[in-house]
Structure 1
Amino acid sequence: MRHIRLRLRTSILFILATLTIFFLITLNTLIWSTNELEQVEENRDIPIPPGVIPFWSAINHQNIYDIHATSVNTIFIRPSNISQRRVEELYELIRNAKNDDTQSVDKEKLFPIDSTWSFDKLVEQQQAHDNDDTNKQTPETHADTADSAAKTTKTTIRPDLTTSAKSVSEYDKIQLRNYVHQSLAKWKKEHQNDKIINLADLMHDELLRDEPSRLNTTWYEFMKTVNNLRVYDPNSSEFKRLLNHLQNGEVIEASEMSQGTQIKVIFDLPDGFEALFKPYRVPRNYQTLPDHFYFSDIERHHAEIAAFHLDKILGFYRVPPLIGRLVHITRDIHEKATEELAKTFFISPANNTCFRGHCSYYCDTSHAVCGKPGDRLEGSIQVLLPRPPEIEWKKITHPYRRSYSAIRKAKWESNENHCYDEVFLNDDYHNRLLLDMMDLSAFDFLIGNMDRHHMMRIQTFGANSALIHLDNGRSFGRYDHDELSILTPIRQCCLFRYSTFARLYRVYRQGLSTLLSRSLENGEQLRKILVDEHLTAIDRRLGILFAHLDTCIKTYTVKGVMIDDGID
């Protein structure tokens, strides 16, 4: 009997122990599963690290104003191949050479040309060779995108854009380079005493005759600060009033910009101002995917804002003033929209007000611009300068324009002599335009802009007019890549302004990324325009730019590279 009771107790204890273990395992499993669910919920609020946001989902991503940058990608390291000490040495060399130039050095003696050599004869020879090559190929309409290139029929003979003209000889290179130096010196002598012209003076008589009321507007006062050397004066009261006007002025009418690959809205503002509004499309930490071509990249409003501040810090003042703005998508756009634009508005499944507009890219309901959250929409708003017929503009095809094709390259991409074969042989560049293009190349490299197919300037000012740095929305696409091909004009031509180098050296000493970060924080209501990785990339790219100039100077000497054309 006692044995039976012992067995019974043992069985009961075993069963209890088993049940206890089972209960503990079940409880632990439940706790672990609950913890995983909580982690998933928490991770929804954590910003996705830069570079991993899918392109299509990025367009529909919730608007982020206070995004935090992740730690810098330590895998990507591109040394600039130049030390701070070498930059200081370059500055001393260039400053001393600049001082020598002020003593009226004879450029004809410094850059002599053989008496038997003729620029016109060289041009004729190159043109004859180009004509022979053209006759051997069937002409074809240029394709601007990968999609249009794919539509070409199989029977069409496509001209090879990588085939370059017959390169000039080494002897001709030396003579041609000296000829360009002498031409730039003559240009400076002819134009160094030119009077500065402003837009208000150019438009005064016509306005007085046709629209005298516009002469008493803040718009006209701002036009007095727009001249042939810059598009605004950063220290003027008109500039500060303009930014306030852009940011807070009531929208009278909203219409679409007729040209362009992506949606842009023109705002009519009080007192005669027109402004270009580029809406929010992707988060600040979105990176252009490596497989995406430059011509199909999304335009970013925060890139426009950052490019304007960088242009101002560098002292170019060639990007028309713009600022970030929060708008009410219903009150400021939908209710003020033209009939054509208003037809594209709809309410999304998330109950947000959206519009798609009309353009070549991303103007459909799957890529619509929506208020997020609610009716709130941020964007960049830029003053529009007068357009024809009030003012004549000149659109110049960039000699280093990309092919805008997925399967072809441009000539300059496979011809290291392109500057000599094309640019130096074109007398349109034997003036300030050549050096303005070098400034633009340096600016585009710092902001990572590959989409510079044309250069623009106001023709009404005449030939002595600076380029205007328009349309920078495809810049700041990647911080983990430095597109060295943007520097090809500088690398191949090896000509650069003294004054531009001085500006770059000044911001280098002060810390370019620090200056840009402060400017964005103090001048913008929108938060965190650039993530920290982009700021780091700008400093890195400035070093790479100095390294390219150092290589040029080692090849051609300081005076053979640095040009004093009288531009401060």
Structure 2
Amino acid sequence: MSMNYAFGFSLILLILVALNIYFFYTLNTVGKRGPVYLYEPDLKPNVYREIYEYLNYLPDQYKSRNIKFIPIQKQLIQTFNSSSPHNTKDVWQYADNWISEESLFPQYNGTLGKILYNMRTAKISRVEIAPKGSQLKLSLILEGKYKMYFKPKRYELTHIVTGDIYGGYDRHNSEVFAYYLAMVMNFKWIAPCVIRKLHVANDVVPVATKELRLTMIKNGTSRCIYGKCRYCHFSKTVCPDKNGEIEGATILLLNKKFQTHVSPWRRSYNSKKMSWETENNFCVKVMNTLNLKRILNLVDVSLFDFLIQNGDRHHYEVYKDRIMLFDNGKGLGNPTVDELDILAPLYQCCVMTYSTWRHLEMLSGGILTETIKILSSFQGFKLATEDHYKAVERRLLKIYATVQYCIGKHGSAKVFKIS
């Protein structure tokens, strides 16, 4: 009995000592890194765990409004506010003659606002079926021979697309939202894009090509359109609203030659895993095939795509050795989902252009989405729900956390590159 009593007493003492150590440790680690998550983490790959750790302890500067962006915001407002009268021909000529290594279109003197205004109001001289793509698109030829792609509205803004990140129809509002996002992020290699409404009976039918008219179905006094594309079918028409109009994104078609490349981080679109999803050192392989400038450009694109959750960039187009931000219609699908694997180029390669990082730091504290709302207001269309705007701000914090993860792993000197 005495031996059993001694053993039991010793066990109790050990438990008491362990509890004292636990409580002492707990009291002395208040405010330090711990296991309490402020954001629910995705615990699949180990890298996600580490990114969420950095997310939970981001410095306050990444959650506060950065006043350094205010002068840039004012410049953007000036270039997108097209309230002053202008000569349409002069604007198109100025845009045509623009040659720059810094931007695809002129960024100053209100030119972008005037271009968007012209795209939204210019008379249409011909409408035809766009020659490429998996979904219905129209080509609008304006007076003066300028051409635009028209992606029709398929969903209401409040519609949530579930399932695969690349699922569903293209969202016309995502194309336009992406354009303003690119401008705010200082990514200047994107075609101007704006929402426009087409009156089917007045704007389309009188100038439609024969090929397009053959894909129209009568709908009362107006007509629905199903077009011609990989997945186009007469059971999947786009019909005018009660005013006889179809809303859509109009994207200025660029009369330039682009080189098309397959993205190293493309998806398989089936259950097959791609190399970037299974290989720990995938970026080493990429660095053996692409130069650093191209990789830095792909990282920039991944930041852009992550903010809108565009997981469908299987190919990319290059002009003047810069990746063009085309085909952004798969964004803004589900505001409750943040697919971190869109950031794979960043967290696998852990490199970023220093100028991109400094600009990103200025977009903290809500000023990113605030600026998008201001710029888009000049055209008079709402681009997204408040849930989507909040999601963009939430994802920006995750980008900050991913960069902090890379800095913690490799150091700032190896992460940030001067281009």
Paired position in structure 2 for 1:248: 121
Tell me the distance in 1 between the aligned counterparts of 2:390 and 2:63. Answer: 21
Q: State the distance in 1 between where 2:179 and 2:394 align.
A: 19
What pairs with 1:216-231 in structure 2 (closer than 5 Å)?
A: 218-225=91-98, 227-231=100-104
Quick one: which of 367, 384, 393 aligns to 2:258? Answer: 393
Q: C-alpha deviations, 1:158-213, integer Å up to 9, x for none?
A: xxxxxxxxxxxxxxxxxxxxxxxxxxxxxxxxxxxxxxxxxxxxxxxxxxxxxxxx
| Structure 2 residue 314 is the aligned partner of structure 1 residue 441 | no
User: 1:232 aligned to 76, 99, 105, which one?
Assistant: 105
Match for residue 337 of structure 1?
208
Q: 1:306 aligns with which of 165, 177, 185?
A: 177
Q: 2:380 aligns with which of 525, 528, 551?
A: 525
Structure whose residues are more often strand by fraction: 2
Distance 2:257 2:221 in 1: 45
TM-aligned CA deviation for residue 293 of structure 1: 5.8
Aligned: 1:403 with 2:403: no
Deviation of 1:233 (Å) = 2.4
Q: Give CA deviations for 1:364-417 in whole Å, capped at 9, x if unaligned.
A: 23220110114111111111110xxxx43111111111112x221211111121
What SS does the aligned partner of 2:261 have?
Answer: strand
Q: Which has the larger radius of gyration?
A: 1
TM-score (norm 2): 0.78
Residue by residue, what CA displacement relative to the aligned partner does 1:495-547 show, whole Å, maximum 9, x if unpaired? 00111111111111452222222222x23222x21001000000100000011
Distance in 1 separating the partners of 2:61 and 2:95: 42
Match of 1:467 among 319, 323, 326: 323
Number of corresponding residues: 346
Distance (Å, rounded) in 1 between the aligned partners of 2:61 and 2:369: 20
How far does residue 223 in structure 1 lie from its aligned partner after superposition?
2.2
CA distance in 1, matches of 2:353, 2:193: 27
Q: Does 1:316 align with 2:173?
A: no
For 1:440 and 1:393, locate their aligned partners in 2 and report how far apart those are by CA, in whole Å. Answer: 17
Give the secondary-structure state (helix, strand or coil) at the position aligned to 1:354: strand
- The alpha-carbon deviation at position 325 of structure 1 amounts to 0.9
Q: Does 1:476 align with 2:349?
A: no
Residue 268 of structure 1: aligned partner: 141
> 2:235 matched to 1:372?
no
Q: CA deviation at 1:352?
A: 4.7
Residue in 2 that maps onto 1:278:
151
Structure ranking higher in helix proportion: 1
Map 1:479-490; keep pairs closer than 5 Å. 479-490=335-346
Structure 1 pair 551–506 and aligned structure 2 pair: CA distance change class (3 A): same
For 1:501, the equivalent position in structure 2 comes to 357
Q: How much does 1:437 deviate?
A: 0.7
Cα deviation for residue 239 of structure 1 reads 2.6
How many Å apart are 1:87 and its aligned residue?
A: 4.1
Q: Write the letter of the residue equivalent to 1:266.
A: S
CA shift in 2, pair 1:475/1:396, >3 Å:
same
Mark the runs of 5 or more structure 1 residues left unpaired by the alignment: 1-75, 92-215
Aligned residue runs from structure 1 range 207-218, under 5 A:
218=91
> Matched residues in 2 for 1:455 and 1:345: separation?
32
**Structure 1 segments (4+ residues) deviating >6 Å:** none
Please name the residue that 1:359 is paired with.
Answer: 229
Structure 2 gaps of 5+ residues are: 1-38, 42-51, 67-88
8 A Cα contact 1:352 1:372, kept in partner? no
- Note the alpha carbon deviations across 1:269-323, whole angstroms, 9 max, x for none: 1223111111111110111122x461x4210111111111111111112221111
CA distance in 2, matches of 1:231, 1:311: 12
State whether residues 395 and 456 of structure 1, in contact with CA within 8 Å, keep that contact through their aligned partners in structure 2. yes
Work out the CA distance in 2 between the residues paired with 1:482 and 1:371: 33
Distance across 2 between alignment mates of 1:430 and 1:505: 26
Paired residue secondary structure (2:249)? strand
3-state DSSP of counterpart to 1:311: helix
Tell whether the 8 Å contact from 1:479 to 1:534 is kept in structure 2 after alignment. yes
Kept in 2, the 8 Å contact 1:217–1:271? The answer is no
Q: Deviations over 1:319-349 (max 9, x none)?
A: 211111111012212221111111111123x
Distance 2:415 2:161 in 1: 35
Does the 8 Å contact 1:82/1:544 carry over to 2? no
Distance 1:409 1:274 in 2: 39
* TM-score, with structure 1 as normaliser: 0.58
Give the distance between the partners of 2:184 and 2:175, measured in 1 at CA. 14
Query: 1:384 pairs with 253, 275, 280, which one?
Result: 253
In 2: Cα distance, 1:507 partner to 1:225 partner: 28
- Cα drift, residue 433 of structure 1: 1.3
Distance 1:299 1:255, change over 3 A: same
One-letter amino acid of the counterpart of residue 563, structure 1: K
Against the structure 1 CA distance between its residues 88 and 381, is the aligned structure 2 distance closer, same or farther, given a 3 Å change threshold?
Answer: closer
Structure 2 residue 60 is the aligned partner of structure 1 residue 85: yes
Contact 2:226 2:234 (8 Å CA) reproduced: yes
Identity value in percent: 26
Distance 1:466 1:264 in 2: 25
Deviation at 1:219, TM superposition (A): 3.3
Structure 1 vs Structure 2 CA RMSD: 2.2
